[in-house]
């Protein structure tokens, strides 16, 4: 089963659009694994997946990351590695091979680096293994406009940088796009272009994005971290957010 089908299945089974961002602060690295597993135990019924970024990938090793991914899989959750890969293909293949060995189901990449000798071989090898590649389209922070919102000239036509990334996502047959929840109008614009390719939206709550507006605009999944993991009642927060966005 391809990645988009697997995460859709998990979403339906859990009745949740939430991909939990395990962006734990590495104040006490020796406790990161324990804390991550405790959070998973609390939210397992209210999220459909997890996203692990450099907060855990840098301080933890192969075995610790595998323990987190294995726990997520035991709960029927999908796991996404957020490295924003942006390198030549030989490096991307090495990085993703390690991620696949750990058990990750998908990886987030930056389409800016291009296809030939860059993301192309990474996407092809991922699909052979049933893994997913998600590409950045428009991020959730204020400075995103300085890059993703740049005007570019292609074949005599002025477009936005995110127009180019939309076109690449479609042509490269990627498995999802990252579009910040802080820009519902851009979410709608992207969804109208990509149709069935799922949109993953970070930036709700803490960065100011409204989860309901993001879903109405076309977001299929909401990547939520701090609003849940920094809550005084993690389980309650996850359940409440699940209920208002499903």
CB 118 within 8 A of CB 86: no
Comparing CA positions, the residue from 43, 14, 1 lying closest to residue 221 is: 14
Question: What sign for the dihedral angle of Cα 185, 186, 190, 193?
Answer: positive
Q: How far apart are CA 78 and CA 11, in angstroms?
A: 9
Comparing CA positions, the residue from 14, 26, 88 lying closest to residue 53 is: 26
Assess whether 212 carries a catalytic annotation. Answer: no
Catalytic residue among 8, 9, 66, 84: 84
CA distances from 170 to 6, 129, 190 (A): 20, 20, 11
Q: How far apart are CA 53 and CA 24, in angstroms?
A: 9
* Eight-class DSSP state of 85: E
Residues labelled catalytic: 84
């Amino acid at each position: 089963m391809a990645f988009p089908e697997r995460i859709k299945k998990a979403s339906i089974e859990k009745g949740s659009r939430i991909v939990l961002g395990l962006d734990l602060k590495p104040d006490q690295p020796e406790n990161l694994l324990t804390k991550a597993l405790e959070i998973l135990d609390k939210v397992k019924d209210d999220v459909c997946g997890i996203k692990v970024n450099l907060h855990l990938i840098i301080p933890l090793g192969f075995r610790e990351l595998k323990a987190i991914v294995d726990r997520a899989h035991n709960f029927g959750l999908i796991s996404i590695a957020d490295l924003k890969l942006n390198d030549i293909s030989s490096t991307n293949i090495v990085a993703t091979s390690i991620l696949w060995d750990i058990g990750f189901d998908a990886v987030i990449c930056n389409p800016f680096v291009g296809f030939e000798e860059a993301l192309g071989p990474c996407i092809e090898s991922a699909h052979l293994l049933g893994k997913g590649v998600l590409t950045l389209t428009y991020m959730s922070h204020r400075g995103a406009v300085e890059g993703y919102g740049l005007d570019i000239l292609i074949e005599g036509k002025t477009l936005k940088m995110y127009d180019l990334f939309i076109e690449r996502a479609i042509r490269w047959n990627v498995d999802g796009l990252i579009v910040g929840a802080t820009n519902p109008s851009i979410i709608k614009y992207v969804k109208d272009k990509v149709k069935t390719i799922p949109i993953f939206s970070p930036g709700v709550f803490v960065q100011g994005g409204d989860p309901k507006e993001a879903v109405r605009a076309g977001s299929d999944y909401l990547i939520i971290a701090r609003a849940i993991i920094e809550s005084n009642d993690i389980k309650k927060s996850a359940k409440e957010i699940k209920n208002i966005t499903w």
